[in-house]
Amino acid sequence: MSNWLWSVITIIGTLSVYIAALKVYRRFHSPFTLPILTSTLTIILFLLVTNVSYDTYMTGGRFIEHLLGPAVVALAYPLYNQRHMVRKNFLNVTVGVTVGGIIGISTGGYLAKWVGVDQELVASMVPKSVTTPIAMDLSLSIHGIPELTVVLVMVAGTGGAVLSPYVYKWCKIDHALARGIGLGNASHGIGTAKAIEKSEEEGAASSIAMTMSAVIVSILIPLLYPLMS
């Protein structure tokens, strides 16, 4: 089958799966029915059952991937609307993101060392809490495996979006700024999309946390990673 036909099939198939997952989410609203989770699992299962390779799927999937950039840029809109809130709490956001970055790097790296994996896997685990393009570059810079880092970034993003409602409930965290910083810091774009569902204020806090985290973690990793070697 030609590449262009595979491209059409995978684009239509991916969009159809996501639309179906979105309808399920609206009908059975739960963190465990998030479209990003259910659609991803459905596509993975389909590829495994049909023995279609990832490279074949990406002949069309790469066109959808290109939409990630505009989607991230679109997150600037709620941030702009809430700019006064961000300016007023800039110090709190900066401290929160810095502490969150240190915790994210340390827990990932030391957990990997604790279970006894080799150093290459430790390096792949360390950048898991920043957005995918930056995580890949950071992983490469400390001799990790960028492809594995991408998987870990997806797990962190999806896991944070799924578990955050329960964590916030158990810890009695109701403040939009605190919730947004937590999601943006730990779960980057996926967490920010989840935060926007709650409120524009929470989404704006998550968006700025995601952006600042990318910068701060890029500075912290060269300083903290040698301690894990």
Average pLDDT over residues 33-40: 87
Tell me if 124 sits within 8 A of 152, measured CB to CB.
yes
CA–CA distance, 99 with 209 (Å, rounded to integer): 12
Average pLDDT over residues 4-9: 79
Average pLDDT over residues 225-229: 82
AA identity, residue 40? T
State the pLDDT at residue 42: 93
Mean pLDDT lowest for which of 21-30, 51-60, 205-214? Answer: 51-60
State the pLDDT at residue 2: 64
Q: How confident is the model at residue 20 (pLDDT cuts 50, 70, 90)?
A: very high
What are the pLDDT digits (tens) for 159-175?
888 888 899 989 999 88
46-63 as b/e, with b when 16 or more CB fall inside 10 Å?
eeeeeeeeeebbebbbee
